[in-house]
Amino acid sequence: MEWLKLLGKLILTFGLAMTGTLLISLLLSPWVPEEPLLWSIFPQEAAFIGASFLTWIALEKRPLEDMGLIAAPFRSFAIGSGIGMMMIGTVFLLLWPSPYLEVIAVRWDAAVLLSVLSAAFGYLAVAAGEEIFTRGYVQTLLVERLGTWGGIIATSLLFSFLHLFNPHTSLLPMFNLFLAGILLGVIKETAGNLWMPIGLHFTWNLTQDALSLPVSGLRLTPAPLVEAAESGPDWLTGGPFGLEGGVAVTLILLLGILWFVKRDPERFRIKGFFSAAKPLR
């Protein structure tokens, strides 16, 4: 019965988010500019945030701090943002000397600035919406039921599933998205808040787009800071899915997971998925 209640909460929250996305999109449709991909992001992420808050407050009857939305977010957000930029930047710099990645041009003008800023707002909305729903709402409940690793793994499977219908998806990109979910989940548990994973998620996406590389098969920046060209093989560089689709990112994600786990080994000691479980509320 407890599992049915938990599953019902998750399904209800997801259903409210999807319904809210449709309603907000319909309400805003008369004013949406001719950039459907960028502007479709805001209704979706606002709906996921609203649904997560609504069901958390109404059903869990707990403060938002329990989801990881603690006060004073700036330091944790800045640290996460730096980590995300460094991780993607490292992959880019390692591939640049190879014959598979070429920097064609670097531009900096008003059009580039406006393009990157508009994309930044979009990716900030994506990071906030996805992290509040998956790591804040879902992972918090599942970690309490399954223990640390069980909750992180289950949430990461959901996170990768949410990207299943992105363009150019295949097995390796889905595996990397699962690993990205593991990394973000481990960081949330280590930091004790959502601000650090939100920051990492934000710059992880924005840095790729600013380098003119696809982000999970999508692009938001029409005038990127750096114009780069990938020439394969897809298993290494990710091809049309972006760096997230290649083994170079697989390695950086695994190293990131190991680094954060080693910072708090007792928390992540494997004692069985249910060892840290608490009764469902």
pLDDT digits (tens, 9 = 90+) for 106-131: 888 888 888 888 889 999 999 999 99
Per-residue pLDDT band at 274 (split at 50, 70, 90):
very low
Rounded to an integer, the average pLDDT of 257-264 is 92
176 assigned to some structural domain? yes
User: Is residue 64 in some structural domain?
Assistant: no
Q: Are 114 and 215 in contact (CB under 8 A)?
A: no
Which domain covers residue 257, as residue numbers?
Answer: 70-263
Query: Alpha-carbon torsion 44, 281, 161, 91, what sign?
Result: positive
Q: Which residue has the higher pLDDT, 225 or 83?
A: 83
| CA distance linking residue 151 with residue 169, whole number of Å | 25
Evaluate whether 150 touches 198 at the Cβ level (below 8 Å): no
Amino acid at 232: G
**Looking at the domain assignment, is residue 58 inside a domain?**
no
Kindly state whether residue 29 falls inside one of the protein's structural domains: no
186: in domain? yes
**Predicted TM-score (pTM) of this structure:** 0.91
107 assigned to some structural domain: yes
Query: Would you say residue 155 lies in a domain?
Result: yes
Could you list the beta-strand ranges (E) of the chain. Answer: 101-106, 226-230
- The predicted pLDDT at position 160 comes to 95
172, 250 Cβ separation under 8 angstroms = yes
In this prediction, residue 277 has a pLDDT band, given cuts at 50, 70 and 90, of low
Number of domains in the chain: 1
In a domain, 253, yes or no: yes
> Cα separation of 187 and 200, whole Å?
10
